[in-house]
Chain A
């Protein structure tokens, strides 16, 4: 009797699958999968000696100012931001570009030139690797544009259902030159307020991309690194008192914060505040006020009137400052408040929004 042998299809080795197309919990556990992911995904685009050293912290060489006979001292500007934007990709940018520019800008707003960043990634199990690559490529482009380096990073993976796909936290560091004093409490009566360009672009672009309000528009996010713009402005004038980027809460929130910190009144001319027509239309449709919508590539500068013309000229010739205009001035009263002259000649108070900005029906 012949014995039927099962047909042998060939040796199969139960080596774990490399999982090239999806992120799994294993990628966050610190083992081989983690190392593979880091070496494949993160090191090459951000490559520098600190990252390659692979230690717990990035070590960088910086030039400290030295004063004869005294210990060298200087000021570091440090900022950290967690990015949880949804959707991850939107017209004009993505979470990666946002993560780099947001932190670069926060450091630059102190008058510092941002140099080094760290980046922490919290990735949801099942996240597509090709999407992650696109985001990392976007971060690489932003890093190169801003002239900064990512010198430290971390990666964690969480279970499916958490993290909305991906969260990124970036921390940035820069040195503040000794002759620069910039801060929200430094606005003076008599100063003018300059805005670098149109407001509301980022917030409307993201809202449109989310899709649940059902509108379509060609508005693009303005997300951009502003550190070179700030550098040009500081070279032109060392008497700039305040710099701020009006992100969440919009122009209105930033101006109110400054008014409170500096104990001054800020009066703006509503007609001079630039708003793209499509942004204005989207706001009308939903019942929003552009003053409260987020921006990610704009800045406010408050400085003495005498320097304003020169700074404006320089801004208008620098990338991301082309649309710069004077929008208002600082007075000593009403202390801590922001007022706006309307198109029809009346004055109204511009307050901080109380919470989530909701579309209205009324």
Chain B
């Protein structure tokens, strides 16, 4: 496939790996933000090929993993109501809340449907005027343009039966939270390439300036990831700290201005609770008041829901890069993809799930 297969070339991979080995002179800890990058690293066994001195830790880049328990409980409550068609991206179906998930709601008769794009949820609303169609809008900045456009489209079409349960999270506040933590070990970041395709990387120089940590925008294919690692390593070895772009074929400094404008039109910053981490101020997006009628949290009063997280699950520490999945006492024993205790095992992008599927037991 064009613009994809070229970045899996074995010879070029060998070449960049060699250069990485020649560049590293002492141990470094680099975090890859995005769950898709974790997945690619595991799938291609990249961490096996990297020099021992280089430690890759996995960041909280899985929107499924970091969606708060309360919000999932709200989703389940809405999906259980009669007359509701609850739509979602595929990977949310298995996320457990306190003892239940969307799969079991579906099995008990709830109308839960997987959609590939939020425009299909809008179409469902149009085709089923007697039902309430709710779309579970999770995601980082990458998915926001799509989720916002669905709201605007519903408004243009005059739909009264479409609403969105918003659970957006933003990367820069998460990076700052990790870097501010007294236990932080991360010395360099591979920034999430597709988040930056939307947002650009103009948000990173202030972070780089404040924390003196290199941030390199990185893609998702083996060569992209290795190139991101190489550039980060060069900065670390040379004592530099800059925001660099290793994914220039789709990322520019400004990003997609139209997408950012639409996001700003529909969403506003708000505090967001990250599962396993806690509340990070201004780290989320919520629906603006002008679009309140499309906000599922307002349309369906899903008032206080008691959510309990498993005490054994250390997803929080994994999401912050403090621990690896194999260091968790429950990993692969009590906690497996079939019986996940926490967020990082649930999503196919979560670090624990990736570790379980691709390796290491």
Contact = CB atoms under 8 A, between A and B. Distances in A.
A346 B45 contact: yes
A344 interface: yes
Contacts, number: 98
A219 B283 CA distance: 43
B280 interface: no
Nearest to A358: B90
B13 A361 contact: no
Nearest to B340: A354
B4 A284 contact: yes
Contact of A343 (B10, B120, B336, B358): B10
B81 interface: no
A359 B338 contact: no
A355 interface: yes
Nearest to A277: B1
A171 to B, nearest CB: 29
Across chains A and B, which 9 residue pairs bring their CB atoms closest together, nearest first?
Answer: A346-B45, A358-B90, A362-B349, A354-B337, A359-B90, A344-B13, A362-B35, A361-B89, A348-B45
Contacts of A354: 336-338
A362 B348 contact: yes
Interface string B53-67: 000000001111000
A213 B91 CA distance: 14
Contact of A361 (B10, B139, B356, B358): B139
Interface of A: 212-214, 277, 280-281, 284, 286-287, 289, 342-349, 351, 354-356, 358-362
A214 B91 CA distance: 18
A362 B347 contact: yes
Interface in B12-44: 13-14, 34-36, 39, 42-44
A351 B361 CA distance: 11
A284 B8 CA distance: 13
Contacts of B105: none
Contacts of B1: 277, 280-281, 284
A162 B93 CA distance: 24
A344 B116 CA distance: 30
A342 B44 contact: yes
A359 B8 contact: no
B8 A343 contact: yes
Interface string B147-187: 00000000000000000000000000000000000000000
Interface of B: 1, 4, 8, 10, 13-14, 34-36, 39, 42-46, 48-49, 61-64, 89-91, 93-94, 103, 113-117, 120, 139, 143, 222, 336-338, 347-349, 356-360
Contacts of B349: 360, 362
Nearest to B349: A362
A355 B336 CA distance: 12
A349 B143 contact: no
Given A345-B10, A359-B114, 10 more contacts: A281-B1, A286-B116, A344-B13, A347-B45, A360-B90, A361-B139, A362-B35, A362-B36, A362-B63, A362-B91
A203 B91 CA distance: 19
Contacts of B116: 212-214, 286, 359
Given A213-B116, A214-B116, A214-B120, A355 B94 contact: yes
Nearest to B140: A362
Contacts of B114: 212, 358-359
A360 B348 contact: yes
Contacts of A360: 89-91, 348-349
Contact of A345 (B14, B39, B61): B14
Contact of A348 (B44, B113, B139): B44
A317 B234 CA distance: 55
B113 to A, nearest CB: 8
Contact of B91 (A212, A281, A361): A361
Contact of B42 (A213, A281, A348, A361): A348
B204 to A, nearest CB: 21
Nearest to B358: A348
B140 to A, nearest CB: 9
Given A348-B358, A351-B357, A361 B90 contact: yes
B276 to A, nearest CB: 17
Contact of B222 (A214, A289, A344, A359): A344
B8 A349 contact: no
21 contacts: A212-B113, A212-B120, A214-B120, A284-B1, A284-B4, A286-B116, A346-B46, A346-B49, A348-B45, A348-B359, A349-B357, A349-B358, A351-B357, A354-B336, A354-B337, A356-B103, A358-B90, A358-B93, A358-B94, A359-B90, A359-B116
Question: Most chain-B CB neighbours within 10 Å: which of A213, A358, A361?
Answer: A361
Contacts of B348: 287, 358, 360, 362
A277 B39 CA distance: 22
Nearest to A357: B90
A332 to B, nearest CB: 19
A277 B337 CA distance: 30
Contacts of B63: 361-362
B213 to A, nearest CB: 24
A355 B90 contact: no
Contact of B64 (A280, A347, A359, A362): A362
Nearest to B48: A346
Nearest to B146: A361
A252 to B, nearest CB: 10
